[in-house]
A and B are shown apart, each in its own frame.
Chain A
């Protein structure tokens, strides 16, 4: 029985001591340290979503809804940006503020440069959609739960600076775990400068002088030189990394998207070789667009649905492309930002179209020459800005948010207004900001849109 007492006594003592095994509350299920390039890789995974948004495709009127028209009627006002801050941006911030970058994953400077470029890309995308957003105070965690909203102008100015820094800080040597460019730092530099070029063009209406200056600095720093340099998210033929539209259409059986009538009307008459890629023929073997925003008699329609190639499981998403840079140069030449006038504009315009077709058709240029000769497409100095904008719109197919931004800047192509519903000019802030960041949110809405947080305020660069 002595043993029993010993046991009981031991139990008594056991209960009393408050020192636990050292690692008992150390979480074995999650890593307490991270590799910085693995954080960058996670930030890159979000790129797919930016270019696969049905809402973006509706704002640009690429697609019409065949079944349950809803989003395409601009019924949603508030859009959430929290997932971009808490997702990719916070990962990139963790890299940029990291105290232990590991040179084994590639030159530290290059890790930081890539993080900077990606961060700039996300913020550029976001400010174009919402307007002023938290930037300088954002991503500070506990230090600032209610960040102030920076003006779009301030954000653009800082992004130019960040991109310039990124371009300058790189050193030879690739980084690991990069799923976009395979670590190729030269291509990241070209991306940084091309982004700068496109952002500069965005200022064509609000501040042409600044735009012109940044545009030329970007050109000088070295932009993309071929489709190989494209900033693309390449999906894989596996469920975990598949194209958004594949999941919607192939997995969920949602044959809900047809080419818009607007799109087909620009492509079909000129035998645009991209049309058979963008859409599938209808049951009669023809390419027929569905009037955008149609709500009645949808049953009776027989339109061309979104092209099978576009929603292949591994179909890529194009984010920043060589042809886009060429269109930008064409427009800059026409605007007189760069030398060469109409001749330079026409050369870049024609090249942009050709590179676009090559991008969409696996390098094939069949049909490009013929299309370039049609009166609608052939460069016409009198309609040059409209032509460039329209062709850029066709080129940006499916990257709706970018196309919509360019539409807001240029006003081309002409989009339809079903039931008088105007195309939105921005997206509403997430409703949660009205709870979580009350005063800063209120101030930003007041400052920009006289208190109206809706779809029809104009962002800073969008001056009419």
Chain B
């Protein structure tokens, strides 16, 4: 059993408190009144729970629409990455095909290319295709990722071969082996990939900001940036919008934390 060693908590409790306090106050300020936040110094603790901020967000902005857009975009990206990256990772780890080593190195090296370098031409590509200002433009460039391929390749490399070999001897084709034998066992790795992909996709601001013009196609993150201008001084509304934007990602993180940490540390060790 773990022993209670109190003195470490004397250090760790204040540290985690400092880290978490801004979020606690975010939650508190989202249920304050405008008067409480607009005076100086602002209130630390709300006198009563006031849902005016949330009402403004839901009733007087397109927030719900942006939220749905974000769910569509992140959902599509997660599904695509889980399918495409696991297939590619399996191929790079297991199938000996011409050019596989070189292509894998090339793919992983692209993780070093900063997005600001490729963003202008990427915008031009979608502009030529007439696809800017659509949700599709947000999904297509993220259908697969170098990090995802790297994660899945290192997972399949560490995965025992015997199972697949038995299936192959029994006459299963490559595709059937992959779907019936390999994928079910790879579920933890797929979950890790899904968690990390969702968080990245949901939080993305730069590309949606560039690719989307009309308010109807905003994601929550882009919509949130417009709050400052539109609800100037309505700080409870801005804080409420921030809380609502953060909830999904926080839920996925808390729910899939073990997988998330595995993905982070696995990516480094692999």
Question: Is the pairing of A and B real?
Answer: no
